[in-house]
Structure 1
Amino acid sequence: MPTADRTLPHLSSAPDGTRFRDLNRNGVMDPFEDPRLSPEERTEDLLARLSLEEKVGLMFHTVIETGQDGTLLETPGAISKSPTSTVVLDKRMSHFNVHGLDDARAAARWHNRLQELAEQTPHGIPVTISTDPRHGGAQNAGTSWVTSFFSLWPEPLGLGALGDPELVRTWAGTVRREYTAVGIRAALHPVADLATEPRWARQRECFSQDPQLVARLVTAALDGLRGAEGEIPVQSTVKHFPGAGPQKDGEDAHFPYGRDQVYPGGRFEDHLLPFREAIAAGADAIMPYYGRPVGLQIDGHEIESVGFGFNEQVLTGLLRNELGFDGVIVSDWELVNDNHVGDQVLPARAWGVEELIPAQRLQRILEAGADQLGGEECTELLLGLVRDDLVEEERVTDSARRLLRVKFRLGLFDDPYVDESAADALVGSEESRRQGHEAQAGSVVVLHDDGHVLPLHTVRGSTRIYAEGLPADVIAQLGEQVATPAEADVALLRIGAPFQPRDDLFLESWFHQGDLEFPPGLAHRLARLRAACPLILDVDLDRAAVLTDIAGECDALTGSFGVSAAAWADAITGVVPARGRLPIELPRSMKAVREAHEDVPGGTAEPLYPYGHGLDIDQVISSRR
């Protein structure tokens, strides 16, 4: 729809009165400009008009950054490699993953300026802006962004703890409305991976370890992102095909030591199930992961041990031919070139084909079946491959066709602009924040309440609270903060799940990896604290944790998944009662984790807290009557 605060550029009328955007500025309503035609018809007309350079540009999808106050950044950024005008005008690129964003109105302003720049290209192909998730509380420059002006919801594991497809549909609908208000039209999510390996660093982005539950919640998310008839849709990108959960020893495939993906329990089909359901539900795009399969057989055939983005057996044989997916396949980021950021280098994730030079890697990715190269802008490499007859132009055309179809379905050719003046009101509304807050509080899992302290009854200004990990304003809503446990009526502690810090490679410090046990001194400190007053402990479970040594040292123990301090306080006091159920099991020991199979849901022996465990605070109250 036309924006309220600007005139839609190149808007013309055909002789029969049809309004259209004259994107090639020839004074005629060409078929690709005709809003009455189908996306398929418009795509075929435009394809016949495009130069090789324009088709190649469609096949690259890289990081972009904004300038101050909504301006275009005309220098390389912290991660982005080129000025904005270079990638849009010179390289003919029109898909970008945006980092940063300061506020809603500046984001909308920047987006409109970017679309204005794109109008200078020969056919005015509009830009598609994508993003990693922004509606949770976790910050990771490689996977997600904290965006304060959006409404805040639980991480996907928290949504899995609630297990409610209708809530996920509401969440995804909110994501869609807030994204489209600032011009974001492609979600690099939802994640359909199963959280089967307790050590894997990306569990918080998953909904659960349960393939059936993940399938239901992923399809609900696709519904919400698509929207109802007449609503502005957002492209979905389901990842990471064919399921990134079973990483060997839980190491992540962003890094060379985590390149192997294994199936010792023979449960490949479990990991594939959510993708089957997503395809049936109309997923727009699918992203394969970095990992390389080791020892995997499909239909009796050994699968080559190369990264999934290079793997023709997986992308063409399985995804295209067997599963019938004809949407966009976009590779995960930086499979072709090494990533240089400052003085840090992360090798290209060309696992299994490291010996190939960049041009050969790019050719291998296209032969595997991908349509788009994530995190790359090396258009000259692909142009050279076509000119050297190593890649047929028809192969480029096939991918350009899929990419254009999505742009037309999104309505970008008819109006890519947003209303800058309305962005602040449309993003992070009071109602959306309330819904997100209630979902956060409800997603908290009460693991035990041995001290019968829940729901916690406090009197503002009177109850004396010793706290760690809670801000002063939240404590003030509950009672009076004191300096020591000896002075307190109750102690409230929030801690993160344990991990082993690493920072040798770019992005590595953002990924919580390694063993799941807390330092041995924590249990003793908790015991001393509990001796002074009742103790309620919360562990933020961005992945599984071994709680065996500390569970007995607190009166009540909760697990949360990207929940704000205010939402947790509401959960434990019963204002919005905690009702979550564990979406993953919490293992009893690291020995059990090491002995388990990476691909088996719920595979550790005698877990301390099994999948599905949790106490409703309402049930706790009823049990005491």
Structure 2
Amino acid sequence: MVGLGKWLAASIALFTLSAAAAPPSGWRDLNHNGRLDLYEDKHVPIDQRVEDLLARMTLAEKAGLMLHGTLPTPGSSIGFAGQAYDQGATTRLMRDRHISSFITRLVVPPAQLAAQNNAIQKLAEAGRLGIPATISTDPRHHFQATLGASTTGGGFSLWPDMLGFAALNDPSVMRRFGDIARAEYRAVGIHMALSPQADLATEPRWARFSATFGSDPDTVSRLAGAYVEGFQQGTNGVTAQGVATVVKHWVGYGAQPEGFDGHNVYGRHATLTDASFADHIRAFDGALAARSAGVMPTYVIVQGPKVAGQPIEPVGGGFNTQLLSGLLRGDKGFAGLIVSDWSITRDCPQACVAPDAANPQTPASIGMPWGMEQTDKTTRFANGIEAGIDQFGGADDPAPILDAVATGQVSVQRIDESARRVLRLKFEQGLFDNPYVNEQAAARIVGNPEAQRQADAVQRASQVLLRNDRAALPVAPGQHIWLHGVDPVAARAAGFVVVEDPAQAQVALVRTATPFETLHPHHFFGSRQHEGRLDFRPEDKDVQAIAHAAAHVPTIVAIEMDRPAILTAIEPMARAVIVTFGASDAAVLDVVAGRATAQGRLPFSLPRSMADVEAQRPDLSDDGPPPAYPRGAGIVVGGDQ
């Protein structure tokens, strides 16, 4: 306890220093011994620095490198609440468990986030070896927000979701976004993007569809590669100013039967054939060619295809030697960091398997150990490490790793392999030399007007015009417009006269979204994900609004598509149909008024009915009966269908 007290006192003293201040010029005495050691010398080659530091580390410290924890906030161990990190809880994770990689879920203004991340680096600097923290995040730049997968807010520039970039299918736009997002992340002290999602979206009901680049493997590969290039600053690995990408989820995740997601016990399988599996693998080629710093394996148990002539072991991707050491490290030659998806080593108790209203699944009962449910945690860690995992996402206890070494399930040499990869990335990103950021600069850089101007342009261009009967678009400003699902303030700013009754209007604009159901309301993720049907039905309030408007005036329908929507019920009532993938009301109104041109093409096909959806195979792109609209459909005003 005396030792802990001294360490805490030193940490608190460091924390009270100005977080914005740059470290002293010259070398940083990270291990506090008064000498310039090899790993502290920025002029020494990285390989030598890594080996020098590795030789100084205890086994427990190396095991800590293999954990990718969560920066907690007061009252939330998973960091979803509050305005600051829990300094005491974070100190214990760093000092007692030697963790130096963390996801942040804090949503505060940029300068405040920079200050909080600087404070984490001060705590890290007070450690025995001064190993800096790597801070990661789920996507923060898009309209979609799903607890545990993405977030919004905090002042970052606001861009379309990935499907919007797929609709444009322009790698240069993708790289430009990546570079802007990179600058914003590094400005606040974030070093790793737990993205992009290179999953091939073959099942239209799948809850993770909107974060993909659609259903064409070549498009996914091309854009995921451009994403990596933008964030990491090129194709030669991450630079000292770059953000490390972790491309996910290797591999087959998008082929989930009925679209049920692998975060949930009822979605733990994906079924493919050898041929379709090859397409799902091919979707990752661009990101791997661009040398993504990391890869995240899928949660799901892949069923059906063979690897090297052998059936795939029925375990989740994070435990699967064939997928990781065989396909990824062997066939693809991947030499970077393999980071497991979150909570694969945790138990899935009754509230995870079969929650109900009286006992719903909470964060405390989240676990995804698919295929390893009956084993203990030490065995799960050992199997994951032997399969190829370098870091375990969402894990914060090194004891099972140490136990696996003590019992002979994992060798010290294997631990060293992963430790080298983790340390190398920290050195490549310059964190040992200066992990601090300028808080005032963060306020200027994040969400700056030029970045948002470019984001706004992509919001407008990425829209897809599916129908424009009798030249319904553009609509001249000054006309009387009836709105549903649109902010009247935005419409007035666009030059329209907003009326309360469609009978008094000259045109109507209705914004809606792909229908969904909440089929698993007591599961933590199932209650938050869009599952089930894709078809509009007469009883839907938005359909009733469209019918109400169409009885009086030409009606424009703009549909936010996080999954492919079935338009059969609403098309006869719509004079024009616009598809969006993350766009503000102002962006939609500019397309309506002709101030901007929708340039997108559908990055997936749209089925005609739920019967057609149910008739298709979940592992094949745009499978099934002829669609209502094929992939690639879209009208550019003044152009061709």
TMscore range, shorter length: over 0.9
Per mean C-alpha deviation after superposition, the further-off stretch among 59-68 and 123-132 is 59-68
The residue that corresponds to 2:603 in the other structure is 583
From 92, 95, 104, the equivalent of 1:98 is: 104
* AA of the residue aligned to 1:595: A
From 250, 253, 262, the equivalent of 1:253 is: 262
The residue that corresponds to 2:141 in the other structure is 135
Distance 1:381 1:230 in 2: 33
The residue that corresponds to 2:276 in the other structure is 267
* AA of the residue aligned to 2:633: H
The residue that corresponds to 1:480 in the other structure is 497
Distance 2:98 2:240 in 1: 29
Per-residue CA deviation, residues 120-171 of structure 1 (Å, 9 max, x unaligned), is: 1111000011001111011111111112401011100000000000000000
Distance 1:618 1:169 in 2: 28
Distance 2:126 2:187 in 1: 24
From 459, 474, 481, the equivalent of 1:440 is: 459
* AA of the residue aligned to 1:593: V
Give the 3-state SS of the residue equivalent to 1:362 in structure 2. helix
Give the 3-state SS of the residue equivalent to 1:130 in structure 2. strand
Matched, 1:615 2:624: no
* Residues 239 and 428, structure 2, Cα contact 8 Å, conserved in 1: no
Stretches of structure 1 lacking an aligned partner (at least 5 in a row): 13-18, 76-82
* AA of the residue aligned to 1:572: V
From 141, 160, 164, the equivalent of 1:158 is: 164
* Residues 107 and 154, structure 2, Cα contact 8 Å, conserved in 1: no
Give the 3-state SS of the residue equivalent to 1:510 in structure 2. coil
* Residues 136 and 153, structure 1, Cα contact 8 Å, conserved in 2: yes
Matched, 1:349 2:368: yes
With over 3 angstroms needed to count, the CA separation of the structure-2 counterparts of 1:528 and 1:518, relative to structure 1, is same
* AA of the residue aligned to 1:549: A
Matched, 1:336 2:345: yes
* AA of the residue aligned to 1:232: Q
* Residues 70 and 109, structure 1, Cα contact 8 Å, conserved in 2: no
Equivalent residues in 2 for 1:393-432 (5 A)?
393-432=412-451
Matched, 1:380 2:393: no
Distance 1:408 1:448 in 2: 52
Matched, 1:470 2:490: no
From 39, 47, 57, the equivalent of 2:54 is: 47
For the aligned residue pairs, the C-alpha RMSD in angstroms reads: 2.1
Give the 3-state SS of the residue equivalent to 2:275 in structure 1. coil
Distance 1:74 1:23 in 2: 20
Equivalent residues in 2 for 1:414-563 (5 A)?
414-459=433-478, 463-477=479-493, 478-501=495-518, 502-522=520-540, 523=543, 526-563=546-583
* AA of the residue aligned to 1:352: G
Report how far residue 515 of structure 1 moved: 1.7
Give the 3-state SS of the residue equivalent to 2:248 in structure 1. strand
The residue that corresponds to 1:292 in the other structure is 301
Per-residue CA deviation, residues 426-479 of structure 1 (Å, 9 max, x unaligned), is: 1101000010011001111011112421112121xxx22111111121121232
Distance 1:112 1:5 in 2: 5
The residue that corresponds to 1:15 in the other structure is none
Distance 1:444 1:318 in 2: 37
Matched, 1:59 2:66: yes
* Residues 240 and 430, structure 2, Cα contact 8 Å, conserved in 1: no
Give the 3-state SS of the residue equivalent to 1:593 in structure 2. helix
Report how far residue 322 of structure 1 moved: 1.5
The residue that corresponds to 1:167 in the other structure is 173
Distance 1:70 1:545 in 2: 38
Report how far residue 619 of structure 1 moved: 2.8
From 110, 113, 117, the equivalent of 1:111 is: 117
The residue that corresponds to 1:80 in the other structure is none
Per mean C-alpha deviation after superposition, the further-off stretch among 517-526 and 329-338 is 517-526
Equivalent residues in 2 for 1:8-23 (5 A)?
8-9=22-23, 11=24, 19-23=26-30
Q: Percent identity?
A: 39
TM-score relative to the length of structure 1: 0.93
Give the 3-state SS of the residue equivalent to 1:62 in structure 2. strand
Report how far residue 567 of structure 1 moved: 1.0
Distance 2:73 2:489 in 1: 33
Distance 1:205 1:72 in 2: 28
Distance 2:288 2:382 in 1: 26
TM-score relative to the length of structure 2: 0.90
Report how far residue 276 of structure 1 moved: 2.7
* Residues 193 and 240, structure 1, Cα contact 8 Å, conserved in 2: yes
Give the 3-state SS of the residue equivalent to 2:396 in structure 1. coil
* AA of the residue aligned to 2:567: L
Report how far residue 64 of structure 1 moved: 1.7
Give the 3-state SS of the residue equivalent to 1:286 in structure 2. strand
Report how far residue 66 of structure 1 moved: 4.5
The residue that corresponds to 1:78 in the other structure is none
Per-residue CA deviation, residues 379-418 of structure 1 (Å, 9 max, x unaligned), is: 1221222223332222111100111111110110000000
With over 3 angstroms needed to count, the CA separation of the structure-2 counterparts of 1:440 and 1:384, relative to structure 1, is same
* Residues 198 and 544, structure 1, Cα contact 8 Å, conserved in 2: yes
Report how far residue 69 of structure 1 moved: 8.8
Per mean C-alpha deviation after superposition, the further-off stretch among 472-481 and 436-445 is 472-481
Per-residue CA deviation, residues 216-235 of structure 1 (Å, 9 max, x unaligned), is: 11111111111269761100
Stretches of structure 2 lacking an aligned partner (at least 5 in a row): 1-16, 75-80, 353-359
Distance 1:121 1:376 in 2: 20
* Residues 232 and 239, structure 2, Cα contact 8 Å, conserved in 1: no
Per-residue CA deviation, residues 551-600 of structure 1 (Å, 9 max, x unaligned), is: 12111011110111111111222212111100111111111111111121
Distance 1:537 1:69 in 2: 38
* Residues 461 and 596, structure 2, Cα contact 8 Å, conserved in 1: yes
Report how far residue 6 of structure 1 moved: 4.2
* AA of the residue aligned to 2:517: Q
Distance 2:298 2:82 in 1: 35
Per-residue CA deviation, residues 3-46 of structure 1 (Å, 9 max, x unaligned), is: 9984434x46xxxxxx2111111122111111112222211111
Matched, 1:24 2:41: no
* AA of the residue aligned to 1:488: A
Distance 2:530 2:203 in 1: 13
Distance 2:377 2:535 in 1: 41
* Residues 347 and 369, structure 2, Cα contact 8 Å, conserved in 1: no
